[in-house]
Amino acid sequence: MMKKFRMPSAFTILFLIIIVIAILTWIVPAGSYEYVDETAAALEPVPGTYARTAEHPQGFWEVLRAPIQGFFNATDIIVFILVIGGFLGLVTDTGAIDAGIGSIVKRFSGRETLMIPILMCIFAVGGTIFGMWEETIAFYVLVIPVFVAAGFDSITGFAVICLGAGIGCLGSTVNPFATGIASGFAGISIGEGIVLRLLIFAVCLGLAIWYVMAYGKKVKNDPKKSLVYHMKEENEQHFLSQGTGEIKKLSGKQKTILWIFGLSFFIMVLGVIPWAEKFGITMFEDFNHWLGRVPVLGTVLGNITPLGEWWFGDITILFLLSSFICGLIWRWGELRFIELFLGGAKDLLGVALIIGVTRGIAVVMDDGGMTATVLHWGEESLKAMGSIAFADLSYLFFILLSFLVPSTSGLAALSMPIMAPIADFAGVGRDLVITAYASASGIVNLITPTSGVLMGALAIARVSYGIYLRWIWKFLLLLLVIVLVILSGAAILS
């Protein structure tokens, strides 16, 4: 009996790619470029300076060394991921986010139609600022029975969470696990391109809210219009008999933790937007200069990097400090604090490992002299391709690549070392490529059957994958077109 095919893990796929790339270094000619600034974080190749160099084929030892070197090359990003994981572990243990959303569900009981846009906006904000996706699983059990009891169906309750968080991830404005990692490998600030991502986020979220509300209203007016109408009585018995779960009241400490949580990400946004360089706003630099001249206090605080000039090290410090503040507020014991912080970091260890392994692909390409040759091929191809075509094809390319590499962070580390410099040749900003990547990864996240979160949520909602595709395909098509139009407009203006 033939075994059922199972998609290999992201680690297996990435190691296979390293081996394939190493083999290609024996075939693809080696080359090099001159760069605008050899010391810059974002190495920008000078068009027309490609030259062939001596061949450097990569062997067995280089294949094994590549992921190790990849870890060294991505240390700042990996440490950032682990620290923010520790911070999220602490916040999660307080139950502040769960209680906050639970209190909203309780407050709007009986006004569930109004609750659709409110909850979708909350989940979307979570998705766009910290990649809220796996964390949503617990809320399906809480939210779906509320909507079923109000006369909607399980698809409506499911969609409020799934499309809310999914659109947030699609429009990852400052999501550290998508935009942050991609920006790091592209050598630019997370804040670059934030206006474009905010536009995509707002437009797509508005479309999602309209789509869910229109379907929910149709089902409430005529239950027979539900795609799961054949399970109506069974679903009502299942969801209403189990209740909506216990909704705990939001305590004063939890409210404070939520303020710290929101303020941390707000400061991160302020820190990564290049205010002085892009907009000529120097108030943060001026404040830092004034603070540094304050007797004693300036010396005690040290040389704080002005907001607008932050890189991964500064953001890591911010979330480490926020973790300490949460510890003082919640009053965990020392050992418990460390246990929770390390537990949160451990939850993201897989992400950190994927980043290192994926970075190893770039190591093999660089050491084999293959990177410059691939960039040269991209430069030659772009001579006959405008910036609009490049932006749109990049988006479609990332959609296809997202199915191959299911890890969002792995996809960023895999693609940005090549796609970002190619954007220079196309005459578009590297931030446009990052936005195309995040949008593509986000749309695939909503439909890929390899997503444990999506399939698990569908199981909780008692909705088959086939029925879900029937319900969402029109919406996905609209998303695809809207993002392509916005990216095309951005390419024209860049």
Q: Note whether residue 177 is domain-resident.
A: yes
Question: Tokens representing 367?
Answer: 């050491």
Rounded to an integer, the average pLDDT of 189-218 is 94
- How many domains are there within the chain? 1
Q: What is the pLDDT of residues 338-389, one digit of tens each?
A: 999 999 999 888 888 888 888 888 889 889 988 888 878 877 776 667 788 8
Q: Taking 80 as the threshold, does the pLDDT of residue 253 lie above it?
A: yes
Distance, in Å, from the CA atom of 390 to the CA atom of 379, rounded to the nearest integer, reads 11
Structure confidence at residue 414 (pLDDT): 78
Q: Note whether residue 462 is domain-resident.
A: yes
Under DSSP, is residue 433 helix (H, G, I), strand (E, B) or coil? helix
Q: Taking 90 as the threshold, does the pLDDT of residue 188 lie above it?
A: no
Q: Taking 90 as the threshold, does the pLDDT of residue 111 lie above it?
A: no
Cβ-based neighbour number of residue 380 at 10 Å:
11
Q: Taking 90 as the threshold, does the pLDDT of residue 321 lie above it?
A: yes
Structure confidence at residue 59 (pLDDT): 93
Q: Note whether residue 413 is domain-resident.
A: yes
Distance, in Å, from the CA atom of 448 to the CA atom of 401, rounded to the nearest integer, reads 12
Q: Note whether residue 51 is domain-resident.
A: no
Q: Note whether residue 34 is domain-resident.
A: no
Residue 481 phi/psi, 5-degree rounding, is -65, -45
Structure confidence at residue 39 (pLDDT): 64
Structure confidence at residue 1 (pLDDT): 44
Contacts (Cβ under 8 Å, ≥6 apart) of 481: none
Q: How confident is the model at residue 280 (pLDDT cuts 50, 70, 90)?
A: confident
Distance, in Å, from the CA atom of 333 to the CA atom of 328, rounded to the nearest integer, reads 10
Q: How confident is the model at residue 5 (pLDDT cuts 50, 70, 90)?
A: low
Query: 472 is in which domain, residue-wise?
Result: 70-274+309-493
Q: What is the pLDDT of residues 423-449, one digit of tens each?
A: 888 888 899 999 999 999 999 999 988
Q: What is the pLDDT of residues 380-409, one digit of tens each?
A: 776 667 788 888 988 988 898 888 776 788
Q: Are 156 and 146 in contact (CB under 8 A)?
A: no
Closest to 438 (Cα-Cα) out of 470, 477, 408? 408
pTM of the model: 0.81
Q: How confident is the model at residue 278 (pLDDT cuts 50, 70, 90)?
A: confident
Residue 35 DSSP code: B
Structure confidence at residue 155 (pLDDT): 95
Structure confidence at residue 26 (pLDDT): 93
Nearest-10 crossing angle of helices 349-367, 408-426: 40
Q: Note whether residue 294 is domain-resident.
A: no
Partner residues linked to 361 by β-bridges: none
Q: Note whether residue 41 is domain-resident.
A: no
Closest to 142 (Cα-Cα) out of 117, 127, 124, 160? 160
- Mean residue pLDDT of the chain comes to 87
Rounded to an integer, the average pLDDT of 82-87 is 92
Distance, in Å, from the CA atom of 357 to the CA atom of 82, rounded to the nearest integer, reads 16
Structure confidence at residue 383 (pLDDT): 64
Cβ-based neighbour number of residue 225 at 10 Å:
13
Highest mean pLDDT among 40-44, 67-71, 112-116, 279-283: 67-71
